[in-house]
Structure 1
Amino acid sequence: MTTNTINWGQITGPNNFLPPSPTTICDPFDDIDDVNIVNSPPPLPTTAAANPPLRAARPSRCQPAETLHARLDTTMRILLLRLCIRDAELYSRASRKTFWKKVQKDLCEETGQDHTTLARLVANLVKRRRECKDASDYSIPDPALTILGASLQCDTLRTALKQLPLEIDLIVSSPMRRTLQTTTNALGWRMAEGCPAIALAGFQENSAKPCDTCSDSTAMVAEWPAFDWSEVDPVFPAKTGLYEFLKEALTRRGVEARRWLRGRKEKVVAVVSHAGFLRVGVSYCAQGASVVKVAS
Structure 2
Amino acid sequence: MPPTLVLIRHAQAIHNINRANHALRDPSLTDLGHRQSAELREHLRAHFPADRKVQLIVTSPMRRALQTALVALDWLVNSGVPVLYPKPCDTGTSAAQLATEFPAIDFSALDPVYPDKTSAASAAYRYKKGAVLARGQSALADLYERAEDVVIVVSHSGFLRTAVAGRWFANADYRVFDFVSREGKDEEEPYRLVEWDLTRGKGGMGRSEEGVVEFGEGLPGL
Matches within 5 A, 1:69-148: 135-136=18-19, 137-148=21-32
Q: 1:189 aligns with which of 57, 60, 75?
A: 75
**Corresponding residue number in structure 2 for 1:105:** none
Higher helix share: 1
Quick one: which amino acid aligns to residue 288 of structure 1?
V
Indicate conservation of the 8 Å contact 1:141/1:213, yes or no: yes
Using structure 1 for the length normalisation, give the TM-score: 0.50
Give unpaired runs (5+ residues) of structure 2: 1-13, 168-191, 209-222
For these two proteins, the number of residue pairs brought into alignment is 157
TM-score (norm 2): 0.65
Q: Which has the higher contact order (CA 8 A, sep 6+)?
A: 2
Structure 2 residue 53 is the aligned partner of structure 1 residue 167: yes
Post-superposition shift, 1:288?
2.5
- Structural mapping, 1:1-296, within 5 Å: 135-136=18-19, 137-151=21-35, 153-162=36-45, 163-165=47-49, 166-202=52-88, 204=89, 212-239=90-117, 240-285=122-167, 287-289=193-195, 291-293=203-205, 295=207
Unaligned runs of 5+ in 1: 1-130, 205-211
Paired with 2:37 and 2:18, the residues of 1 have a C-alpha distance of 16
RMSD, matched Cα: 2.0
CA contact (8 A) 2:59 2:154 kept: yes
Deviations 1:92-111 (A, max 9, x none): xxxxxxxxxxxxxxxxxxxx
Offset of residue 132 of structure 1: 8.5
Structure 1 stretches of 4+ moved >4 Å: 131-135
| Cα-to-partner distance string for 1:173-207 (whole Å, 9 max, x where unaligned) | 001000000000000111001111111225x3xxx
Taking the aligned partners of 1:256 and 1:243, their CA distance within structure 2 comes to 12
The one-letter amino acid of 1:224's match is F
Q: Is the 8 A contact 2:54 2:150 kept in 1?
A: yes
Larger radius of gyration: 1
Cα distance in 2 between the residues matched to 1:253 and 1:160:
30
Tell me how far apart the structure 2 counterparts of residues 149 and 294 of structure 1 sit (CA, whole Å): 16
Q: Which amino acid aligns with 1:261?
A: L
Q: 153-162 or 168-177: which moved more?
A: 153-162
SS of equivalent residue, structure 2 residue 84: strand
Percentage identity across paired residues of the two chains: 38
